[in-house]
Amino acid sequence: MPSITSPILLQVRRLGVATLIAAFALGSAFAQRVEVEFWHGLTQPLGGLLEEFAADFNASQDQYHVEASFRGTYPDTMVAAIAAFRAGNAPHIVQMFEVGTATLMHAGGAVKPVYELFEETGVDFDPDIYIPAIKGYYSLPDGRMVSMPFNSSTAIMWVNNDALREAGLDPETTPLETWDQVRAVAKEVVDSGAAPCGFSMAWPTWTQFEQFSAIHDVPLATRANGMEGLDAELMINSELHVRHVQTLLDMQAEGSFTYGGRDSNADALFPSGECAILHGSSGLRARVVREAEFDWSTHMLPYYDDVPNAPLNSIIGGASFWVMTAPDRTDAEYAAVAEFFNFISTIENARRWHVESGFLPIRFGVFEELEAEGFYEENPGADIPYLQLTRAEPTENSRGLRLGNMPEIRNIIQEEFELAIQGQQTAQQALDNAVQRGNVVLRAFERANR
Amino acid sequence: MKRRTIYRHKLLPYLLLAPQLAVTLVFFFWPAGQAIYQSVLIQDPFGLRTQFVWLENFQIVLTNPVYLESVRVTIIFSTAVTLLAMAPALLLAVMADQVVRGASGYRTLIVWPYAIAPAVAAVLWLFIFHPSIGQIGQGLRTLGIPWDYRINGDQALLLVIFVSAWKQVSYNFLFFLAGLQSMPKTILEAASIDGASPRRRFWMIVFPLLSPTTFFLLVVNIIYAFFDTFGVIHALTQGGPGRSTTTMMYRVYRDGVINLDLGGSSAQSVILMTAVIILTVVQFKYIERRVHY
């Protein structure tokens, strides 16, 4: 092979080497960034907002890179994460809905609790920045936090003011605080023909059993709603629960309550104007703002005023972020996760998330700041979820739930409730059956996780 | 005398079979083996704690009244879907067979539903039968019929049967039509000359001659009703209200994917697999004898 002697060729060779060196340097700069996989279960537009947080984190520093990707609905994301863990390549962070909390909390070595993450990485983190109803839901009984709160919602009552007016009621002065009042208004609306459906609810188990129990300070299950042990048993066949289901059955009989289906199916009934009153997620707000062609308002969930201690705070829904382990995970990767969590928990980012997405302001300071700036006067009713969630010091019954296989328990309660609505069983029978079947599920979970 | 194809190389037939065998092994035998293995274990979802429990999962499943209820729903559901998918298909095929002008147009139209994914089909029918946003749903209510499949279990079952059957009509239609068109015309003409009425010609000649097709479709439709109707049920009723539309297949999904009870769910898969194998064997053994080829 002839050696290169021509000056031009030499020049070319030097250039080539320089490019090569530059390419290597660039490559190693990229390689230095620690990659973090983040799976979430939020559909658009919320998913996009969440991904913006990851992008902003990536732009804010040059050590870490968080790759946020949508993996289907919450249950889909959960199953995907579990399958990935079994295959040895779980994502670093996975977003999980609140009812998956117990499943992940008992996942042993599959999950790294966030208190452990912050201890090991030395990143400063104070769990007391979160409001108690949120902190309690994601913490062990001794207060150590196991997952990172982010998008929290709660159940509230949506009211169609125009329908009330058409029924001859003044929405400004008509009280809607107790079940008697709500029932009377719903009946008036239907009887006057102002709306075909007076009252309905989305997420029947969540709004009528989980929230209901917390607000009335009655247990949903023993062992502090499962927070203190796997041997918890359901307690939803109490006198008060039976009374409530009976109220709903009576309302259905008189025409003031129309069942709208499982999970989020009934969401559509409110913005369409079909139902004048709906119990649903506070997260419905964006849709109501966009779709409702009538004057509406938000209220706190009603209660029975003869129950002692009622009304307490409601409990949360939504999701939190969990750190998962894998055989080849490095300390640098955990450090990256800790830094990302630190980034999303700043007051600026908590505020931005609340304002943009409509989820709750999860840490202290955000609500006060926005209130002082007049945000809630410009957005009436946006403060109701927060006020309801913080209106009392959480008790054992209103701190949250930690029941294994909660998605299945929700389904069982929905099923038995539906059978009562169809007239195939009484309120007492429905709840006895739900307790009996739910306990079987709890025992199976206890056994598999022992 | 038996016909035999002789390959010169011993290896060639196996080589030709290999792709199909590989697909069968990877996508059928391996998962089936996994299900059988998983069905004798109790395991947490993450696979961190495993107990070998012999046949306890089967015992738990088979003594669970909720599961037995899903067996009952499945029997009603599959029988109804199979009948409702085959009878109208045969009627349509007989009529399309007689159409002279625009025959291909009719055929194309009737075949369309088959190209629609089950979940999409379910949503289409939801928009028709939904009690508050569906045209027919609203219509039924204005007529005073308390139509609401969200709270009426019988109506819900009727709806999922109807939608599942509707999806399968096209498939059956195609096969029936092909069967009709390959029918020897001479026999039919001879019967006409003998003075047999169209009805009589159909029941005495066409229907018996069509029996291989009918038999094949019977097997396919039952398997369809058992396994392929998940999308329809999931999109329309999620197994509700109550448990009125929870078939065995839907139960497998509920227990495995939502409930994360892998052992119980696998035991149910194994039961389902056994049921369909037995059903198919029985069909081949007994019904096939009465089929004219």
Instruction: Residue A86: list chain B partners with CB under 8 A.
Output: 46-47
Chain B interface includes A271 (CB < 8 A)? no
Residue A31 has pLDDT above 70, yes or no: no
The pLDDT, as a whole number, for residue A26 is 47
**Packed helices B262-282 and B30-38: angle between N→C axes, nearest 10 degrees:** 120
Of all residues in chain A, the percent with pLDDT exceeding 90 is 74
Chain B interface includes A88 (CB < 8 A)? no
Instruction: Choose the mutation target among A322, A422, A424, A429 for the interface with B, i.e. most B CBs under 10 Å.
Output: A422
Beta strand pairing status for A275-281 and A316-324?
A: unpaired
* Closest A-chain CA to B262: A448
Out of B133, B150, B260, the one facing A103 most closely (by C-beta) is B260
Residue A25 has pLDDT above 60, yes or no: no
Q: Of B269, B250, B235, B225, which is closest to residue B66 (Cα–Cα)?
A: B250
Instruction: Residue B48: list chain A partners with CB under 8 A.
Output: 107-110
* CATH numbers and ranges of domains, chain A: 32-152+317-372 (3.40.190.10), 153-315+396-448 (3.40.190.10)
pTM for the model stands at: 0.82
Cα distance between residue A299 and residue A384, in whole Å: 6
Q: Of B13, B165, B158, which is closest to residue B88 (Cα–Cα)?
A: B165
Q: Does the distance separating the beta carbons of A408 and B258 come in below 8 Å? A: yes
Instruction: Residue A436: list chain B partners with CB under 8 A.
Output: none
Cα distance between residue A385 and residue A357, in whole Å: 14
In which region does residue B101 sit, left (phi positive, over 0), alpha (psi from -120 to 50) or beta (all else)?
A: beta
pLDDT in tens, A259-317: 998 888 899 899 999 999 999 999 888 889 889 999 999 999 999 999 999 899 999 99
Q: Does the distance separating the beta carbons of A262 and B240 come in below 8 Å? A: yes
Q: Is the distance from CB of A188 to CB of A167 less than 8 angstroms?
A: yes
Instruction: Residue B45: list chain A partners with CB under 8 A.
Output: 82, 103, 107, 448
Instruction: Residue A437: list chain B partners with CB under 8 A.
Output: 66
Q: Does the distance separating the beta carbons of A444 and B48 come in below 8 Å? A: no
Report residue B120 CA to chain centroid gap. Answer: 17
The pLDDT, as a whole number, for residue A27 is 47
**Interface subset of A 180-199, CB within 8 angstroms of B:** 196
Q: Does the distance separating the beta carbons of B49 and A441 come in below 8 Å? A: no
Cα distance between residue A420 and residue B151, in whole Å: 10
Instruction: Choose the mutation target among A415, A446, A450 for the interface with B, i.e. most B CBs under 10 Å.
Output: A415
Cα distance between residue A231 and residue A221, in whole Å: 10
Q: Does the distance separating the beta carbons of A107 and B43 come in below 8 Å? A: no
Cα distance between residue A235 and residue A224, in whole Å: 11
Residue A415 has pLDDT above 70, yes or no: yes
* Chain B residues within 8 angstroms (CB to CB) of chain A: 42-49, 66, 132-133, 150-153, 238, 240-243, 254-255, 257-261, 263-264
pLDDT in tens, B38-84: 999 998 888 888 889 999 999 999 999 889 999 999 999 999 999 99
Chain B interface includes A133 (CB < 8 A)? no
For residue A215, give the amino acid letter: I
Q: Is the distance from CB of B222 to CB of B78 less than 8 angstroms?
A: yes
Chain B interface includes A101 (CB < 8 A)? no
pLDDT in tens, A320-361: 999 999 999 999 999 999 999 999 999 999 999 999 888 999
Q: Of B95, B90, B79, B110, which is closest to residue B214 (Cα–Cα)?
A: B90
For residue B75, CA distances in Å to A129, A172, B63, B79, B89 come to 56, 55, 18, 6, 21
* Closest A-chain CA to B52: A448
Of all residues in chain A, the percent with pLDDT exceeding 70 is 93
Instruction: Choose the mutation target among A97, A291, A408, A416 for the interface with B, i.e. most B CBs under 10 Å.
Output: A408
**Mean pLDDT, all residues of chain A:** 90
Task: State the smallest CA–CA distance between residue B79 and chain A in angstroms.
Answer: 25
pLDDT in tens, A88-116: 999 999 999 988 899 898 888 899 999 99
pLDDT in tens, B176-231: 999 998 888 888 889 889 888 888 888 888 898 898 889 889 989 999 999 889 99
Chain B interface includes A392 (CB < 8 A)? no
Domain ranges of chain B: 59-290
Q: Of B56, B22, B49, which is closest to residue B266 (Cα–Cα)?
A: B56
In which region does residue A273 sit, left (phi positive, over 0), alpha (psi from -120 to 50) or beta (all else)?
A: left
Helix residue ranges per DSSP H, B117-254 = 118-129, 135-142, 153-181, 185-193, 198-201, 207-209, 211-223, 230-236, 248-253
Task: State the smallest CA–CA distance between residue A393 and chain B in angstroms.
Answer: 33
pLDDT in tens, A127-172: 999 998 899 899 988 889 999 999 999 999 999 999 999 999 999 9
Instruction: Residue A262: list chain B partners with CB under 8 A.
Output: 238, 240
Higher per-residue pLDDT: A240 or B118 = A240
**pLDDT tier, A235 (very low <50, low <70, confident <90, very high otherwise):** very high
Report residue B266 CA to chain centroid gap. Answer: 21
For residue B108, CA distances in Å to A76, B94, B103, B113, B121 come to 37, 15, 9, 10, 17
Q: Does domain B59-290 have CATH number 1.10.3080.10?
A: no
Cα distance between residue A102 and residue A325, in whole Å: 17
**pLDDT tier, B288 (very low <50, low <70, confident <90, very high otherwise):** low
* Closest A-chain CA to B240: A415
Count A/B contacts: CB-CB distance under 8 Å: 85
**pLDDT tier, B291 (very low <50, low <70, confident <90, very high otherwise):** low
In which region does residue B261 sit, left (phi positive, over 0), alpha (psi from -120 to 50) or beta (all else)?
A: beta
Task: State the smallest CA–CA distance between residue A22 and chain B in angstroms.
Answer: 45
Instruction: Residue B254: list chain A partners with CB under 8 A.
Output: 408, 411
For residue A81, give the amino acid letter: A
Task: State the smallest CA–CA distance between residue A434 and chain B in angstroms.
Answer: 11
**pLDDT tier, B292 (very low <50, low <70, confident <90, very high otherwise):** low
